[in-house]
Structure 1
């Protein structure tokens, strides 16, 4: 990829997710390489669009792009959920960064689209849950479509799940660029005071996880929800098992954070979880999210609790892989954008 005068990385304001953190990580790394890079908060409503958790990345930012910057000397990087920007700023070179395959599919190909999400938001509000910002949902006619591929658009993939998805769409101009977890989760020691705690994310695979929990009520189940990074780390350090039967739309962070903190990881086989490259743990720790597997899953959880020392050794390769991700990311960013 050739060098650019300026690079703009599109991101929703104030939003804290694994995906938005990755966008800020890229901005940080590009600026470390003396590349002129800005976060572009495309839906900013005030003068403080950056989530406070991302101030550590020291990213410069803009809330709008001047017409003079909309030229072929500059580059626009957009997540897959906001591809309309590459058409709004059509004179810039463009990159779609596939952080989540599933989010693209649900946003672009949902037959009811925004109308359906509005109905969902009504239900979410009635249940006291956070509503989805419909500004993030694309209208098909304004978004990237594989039916009309554009050779000027380059693609980056955060996961091998995304690489495989694009391969099946016959996209050739793509490269792998993943991410790394927050370094506070890394530890070289497994001499932690572990307890018989089983962690889960109530926002991922909720229905199936609930069935597992109901089948093992005597276990000490603790949800990972509404916690700071430090609070998450403290729980991960104390716990023996983390399960995740979500859809894994990209290479999710929770499994990596849990593994880095010495938890045994048990997952389903949806999305990126089915790819060895994305979650490289032995097959005995991965299960289909099927009722017939419940007893086997509960049995594996109990084995991890009672035989923790031997079981956690089996994910050493995964932990080693995670510890090297930041350096790999640095090298990949340099290779893609500076060489």
Structure 2
């Protein structure tokens, strides 16, 4: 947005002062402020998991935009907020008699009443916003960091290794692994980005049956490092526009047996050189994400005459 000629600043709600920027983000040189200018001509862009400012009188004039990075995380935060207040004595009665007192629960109805504008991040979130008749101003996804591409090593020989993230996967993958102990499974845990890259460069498969709250980063990293990717169909993974893996590489844990998945894994390990070609279009699409991101930002927010 700065490159498009806009006056843009970060505001850190929890880390203010002279040095609020995390070490990992200093390289972006984005200016920050310790106070939000509550004016009608300004916009406040918020993630879907932090919507309290929408109901704060200190930000009554500024126009709010919610960037829906994860529908799932929004629902988790909202449900937690509901659980926190519903145990209060006579909450149900009080919330009806004194609705203003309980207006900070960011339900879809209340967000619409506040005139909030909405940005989708994935087709999953776009579908969610459309079904709820929200005021949608566009869709802006993300892209792989330039520094990531420096970790790609196409000269590394591929081995019969299957990567997975134990923090994301559950009983379905546990069942598959217990029945395929002849395969070489490698958990990506307690690793630096460089270490993850080393394993992705030399592995043939990345398996992800976790819930996809949005467009997940690691499956895309794996594809760029010439891994074949097998996923489930939860969250955004249910949308082929979000996770466009080839036919036969996406499974439904409520319908597909562990044996069916194992057959796919074995076939891909044996025919890797051919199967990896099936991911070419997805790989090209990932490479184009940065250009598409820039176009989407300009489409939503416009640019100055010189940009």
TM-score, normalized by the shorter chain, greater than 0.5: yes
TM-fit CA distance, 1:197: 1.1
- 2:6 & 2:46 partners in 1: Cα distance? 17
Cα separation, partners in 2 of 1:294 and 1:153, compared to 1, 3 Å: same
Q: What are the equivalent positions in structure 2 for 1:139-218 lying under 5 Å apart?
A: 141-148=103-110, 149-150=112-113, 152-186=115-149, 192-218=156-182
TM-score between the two structures when normalised by the length of structure 1: 0.77
Is the CA contact (8 Å cut-off) linking 2:172 and 2:258 kept in structure 1? no
- 1:223 & 1:39 partners in 2: Cα distance? 36
43-52 vs 171-180, greater mean Cα deviation: 43-52
Task: Select the structure with the greater relative contact order (CA < 8 A; seq sep ≥ 6).
Answer: 2
- 1:55 & 1:301 partners in 2: Cα distance? 41
Match of 1:96 among 55, 58, 66: 66
Cα separation, partners in 2 of 1:31 and 1:182, compared to 1, 3 Å: same
Is the CA contact (8 Å cut-off) linking 1:185 and 1:261 kept in structure 2? no
- Residue 229 (str. 1) matches residue 199 (str. 2): no
- 1:227 & 1:110 partners in 2: Cα distance? 31
Higher CA-based Rg: 2
- 2:85 & 2:78 partners in 1: Cα distance? 13
1:259 is matched with 223
- 2:81 & 2:62 partners in 1: Cα distance? 30
TM-fit CA distance, 1:164: 0.6
TM-score between the two structures when normalised by the length of structure 2: 0.85
Cα displacement string for residues 208-235 of structure 1 (whole angstroms, at most 9, x for unaligned residues):
2222221211222112223222222221
Q: Which runs of 5+ in 2 are unaligned?
A: 87-100
Q: What are the equivalent positions in structure 2 for 1:21-100 lying under 5 Å apart?
A: 30-44=1-15, 47-62=18-33, 64-66=34-36, 69-88=37-56, 89-100=59-70
Cα separation, partners in 2 of 1:95 and 1:166, compared to 1, 3 Å: same
- 1:215 & 1:50 partners in 2: Cα distance? 47
How many residues matched?
Answer: 285
Is the CA contact (8 Å cut-off) linking 2:154 and 2:201 kept in structure 1? no
- 2:29 & 2:105 partners in 1: Cα distance? 30
Is the CA contact (8 Å cut-off) linking 2:205 and 2:229 kept in structure 1? yes
- 1:179 & 1:150 partners in 2: Cα distance? 29
